[in-house]
Amino acid sequence: MTFSELLAFAERNPYLSLALVGLTIAILYTEVMRLFRGYKALRPAGLTSLINRENALVVDLSASNDFEKGHIAGSKSVQPSQFDPENKLLANAKALPVVVVCRNGQASADAAKRLKKAGFEHVYWLDGGVQAWQQADLPLVKGRA
């Protein structure tokens, strides 16, 4: 496809062209913001490595009954309504890697943002949450931690 053909298509289909430009800008904006947000997404394999090599603190924001049904070994349960970066469990871990997890990865991303704003140095969230952990065939521990 030549540039003149592309230009002719854009002239014949102004709405499609505008939609393409809008989507391209949205994708670029999202990716640039991801680079500068200060906390990082982890996949299950990355979390395993971080736990084993750097003794990361894993904070699980799942509801109590979901946490008891299955959680990542060594994770600490904190209810989303009680999540506070100044909590004594978290306050002592400002220099440690802190990983926030939840069932699907939505609430943990917001919590990671709060931790970074509160001055935590190494903040991560599990992309896809405990569901991604299970899909990677990694074990969960049942009961209370």
pLDDT tens, 108-140? 888 998 898 888 889 999 999 999 999 999 999
Is residue 68 within 8 A of residue 143, CB to CB? The reply is: yes
Residue 82 has what DSSP assignment? G
Percent of the chain residues past pLDDT 70, beyond the cut:
97
Each residue of 40-84: pLDDT tens digit? 889 999 999 999 999 899 999 999 999 999 999 999 998 888 888
| This prediction's pTM | 0.74
